[in-house]
Structure 1
Amino acid sequence: MNKQLLEIQPKELKFIFVLKKQSSCSVRLTNNTHNYVAFKVKTTSPKKYCVRPNVGIVMPKSACDFTVTMQAQGVAPPDMVCKDKFLIQSTVVPVGTTDEDITASMFARDDGRYIQENKLKVTLISPPNSPVLSPINGSLKQGPAYEASILEDPVSRVQILTPSDMVRKTLFSQECWIC
């Protein structure tokens, strides 16, 4: 079996990068099959990102979203190039399976089960109308403070959070982890 279980949009995670501010991006999973499909999200940098929810069930002929939040970073990577990646695994599960029923063994290939895997790259983008980050004494400093309320780009659904938004999100994401 080699069919597409979930359609994933976007194919690349784009984060607006602002020093010392977290940034979020939404991903939509669409199940065009007549099966219940379980998904699991993994990353190469689990301490840098929070994924909510990181596992779930997508009902037949429906869609669900998950949000990836890049934690606030003190320095920008060289040339704003990010090598982080995400892996979305999905597999058909029995009718009636719930999010609470999902286990790591569901994504093991040992019993001949079909596991669809999709990789997403991460791209960092400079905020609109903001000075470009420039190196000063080996570390990157940002120009005039970029203060923003929550901004949402209708294409990539990227958000920039103010400090008060970050405190609120931090309080609700204390148990954030990625398997």
Structure 2
Amino acid sequence: MAGSPAQVLQIDPKNELVFEGPFVDVVTSYIKLTNPLDRAVGFKIKTTVPKCYCVKPSNGYIEPHQSIEVAVMLQPFNYNAAEKFNHKFMIQSIIAPDDPRPTMEQLWKDAPRSKLMDSRLFCLLRLPEELLVEPSRDLVFEGPFVKPITSVIKLINPSSHNICFRITASSPDHFSITPSMGVLSAHGNSEISVVFHPNDFDLTAKNRERMLIQSVIASEGTDPKMDQTVLFKEGKVTDYYLKCVFKNTGIEERIEVSKHQVASSKPPHDVCMGKTDIEKLMAEISMLRQENAALKKSGSTSYCLADSFGINFSHVHFKLKRFPDLLWVTWFSSQLFTNITKIFHSTKLIITPGYLTYSKATTKVVASHTL
């Protein structure tokens, strides 16, 4: 819930609730809730799939400096690997009012939304013969994306069988995976290097990049060079997906400017832009949209300016030579910085207090941050 206060309860586990199959019988996992306060805290637990789980207790009070253990029972079902991340739990809490203490029903009925504290737990459903994957959900690549970026996947075989694996990317032209296939011995592990190549990759588009990790039990003595293709064709294959996440770590901190810094870093008077200047710029952009539509159709090279200026227009293609050698652009959101760094990921960026300078040949685009 946006704007909700920080959770006061200590929750164990913090992020994931693991259920290990086979799911032919009830499988139980536990959540430990601890109240570190000098006042009682009310809690309740909800799930996105209430028909699949039985939670005891699902609500109640936790006395000061006390803990309770909540049993979460997953009912028998036909396991589908595609559902392994679809189940979620929400733990809501609120500091209990002074005596007289209300009933649970009355507590939640009268609770102000601004006082509710929320925490979420993801459920991880797995079979004993499945690989453990670290990270379990997101494979993060940290920018700036001016060169290949490496992230690591760790595969762990917790079973007493050998397990064959293979890893493929949804966009294989942009990722190198080493090794992409192999055999993990019983209780063994392996680290996989995944290299992201940002060339010609649109980081501003909606991210749908995934890593597919497939595994199948291998008989003892399996030759990985000879038998893996047959195993994956004829064996019971388990699919595991990791979402690729691209972060410009550090960029936001480097370009974040306080009001004091901005005030002390004023741009030259002759390049400051007011409302009229922005309107002129927007008119110029509108004209360039039309021109570059023709350029794009003819196959000519054009450059892209991120949408911003406090107005939600689409990405604009334009020829930099149409602008003066130095152009000041006022942006109204730090998001523009993120967009610019993504779009010009292969170009040198010069960052100074209050300003971002984009340089290419003799042309510069400079953005100044005003709060």
TM-score calculated relative to the size of structure 1: 0.63
Whether contact under 8 Å (2:28, 2:72) holds in the other structure is: yes
Instruction: Give the corresponding residue for 2:119.
Output: 118
Structure 1: segments with no counterpart, 5+ residues: 135-139, 141-179
Residues 88 and 112 (structure 1), Cα distance of their counterparts in 2 relative to 1, 3 Å cut: closer
Give the superposition deviation at 1:101. 1.5
User: Matches of 2:46 and 2:86 in 1, distance apart?
Assistant: 14
Q: Secondary structure at the match of 1:61?
A: coil
Instruction: Give the corresponding residue for 1:57.
Output: 61
Deviation digits for residues 72-120 of structure 1, max 9, x if unmatched? 11x211356231100010001134577x8211x5336874551100000
Compare relative contact order (CA 8 Å, sep 6+) and give the higher one, 1 or 2: 1
Instruction: Give the corresponding residue for 1:10.
Output: 13
User: Matches of 1:126 and 1:112 in 2, distance apart?
Assistant: 39
Q: What is the CA RMSD across the aligned residues, in angstroms?
A: 3.0
Q: Secondary structure at the match of 1:89?
A: strand
Equivalent runs, 1:60-139 vs 2, <5 Å: 60-73=64-77, 75-79=78-82, 81-95=84-98, 101-103=103-105, 106-107=107-108, 111=112, 113-127=114-128, 129=159
Residue 45 of structure 1 aligns with an amino acid whose one-letter code is V
Whether contact under 8 Å (2:53, 2:74) holds in the other structure is: yes
Whether contact under 8 Å (1:37, 1:90) holds in the other structure is: yes
Give the superposition deviation at 1:19. 3.4
Whether contact under 8 Å (1:42, 1:87) holds in the other structure is: yes
Q: Secondary structure at the match of 1:13?
A: strand
Residues 48 and 83 (structure 1), Cα distance of their counterparts in 2 relative to 1, 3 Å cut: same
User: Matches of 1:55 and 1:120 in 2, distance apart?
Assistant: 16
Of structures 1 and 2, the larger Rg is shown by 2
Instruction: Give the corresponding residue for 1:22.
Output: 26
Deviation digits for residues 124-177 of structure 1, max 9, x if unmatched? 12226477889xxxxx8xxxxxxxxxxxxxxxxxxxxxxxxxxxxxxxxxxxxx
Whether contact under 8 Å (2:5, 2:114) holds in the other structure is: no
Residue 20 of structure 1 aligns with an amino acid whose one-letter code is V
Structure number with higher helix proportion: 2
User: Matches of 1:130 and 1:94 in 2, distance apart?
Assistant: 52
User: Matches of 1:8 and 1:58 in 2, distance apart?
Assistant: 13
Residues 96 and 9 (structure 1), Cα distance of their counterparts in 2 relative to 1, 3 Å cut: farther
User: Matches of 1:65 and 1:110 in 2, distance apart?
Assistant: 24
Percentage of pairs with the same residue: 29
Whether contact under 8 Å (1:36, 1:93) holds in the other structure is: yes
Residues 110 and 58 (structure 1), Cα distance of their counterparts in 2 relative to 1, 3 Å cut: closer
Whether contact under 8 Å (2:33, 2:67) holds in the other structure is: yes
Q: Secondary structure at the match of 1:106?
A: helix
Deviation digits for residues 48-85 of structure 1, max 9, x if unmatched? 00000000111111111111000011x21135623110
Structure 2: segments with no counterpart, 5+ residues: 129-157, 162-214, 218-235, 237-371
Aligned residues: 133
TM-score calculated relative to the size of structure 2: 0.32
